[in-house]
């Protein structure tokens, strides 16, 4: 049993998630999202949906995209 990379808890059924060549071991999707979800280039919130891509960055919404 590997400990969760985010919280350190150990459970019988951890999951390994790989994204763009980066992997992590997590005990829940919540921990995986905290570690691997991208952050908005303006406000820093975690982007759990589609987000908006502009200027080579990802933003949580159109309002955060710089003009």
pLDDT digits (tens, 9 = 90+) for 16-60: 999 999 999 999 999 999 999 999 999 999 999 999 999 999 999
The distance from CA 47 to its chain's CA centroid, rounded to whole angstroms, is 7
Could you tell me how many residues make up the chain?
67
Quote the pLDDT of residue 11: 87
Cβ within 8 Å of residue 7, ≥6 positions away = 27, 31
Where helices occur in 1-67 by DSSP H, the ranges are 29-36
Phi, psi of 50 (to 5 degrees): -75, -35
Q: pTM here?
A: 0.78
Quote the pLDDT of residue 47: 96
């Amino acid at each position: 049993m590997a400990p969760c990379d985010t919280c350190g808890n150990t459970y019988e059924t951890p999951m390994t998630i790989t994204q763009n060549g980066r992997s992590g071991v997590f005990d829940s999707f919540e921990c995986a999202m905290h570690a691997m979800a991208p952050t908005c280039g303006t406000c820093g919130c975690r982007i759990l949906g589609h987000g908006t891509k502009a200027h080579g960055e990802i933003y949580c919404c159109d309002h955060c995209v710089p003009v």
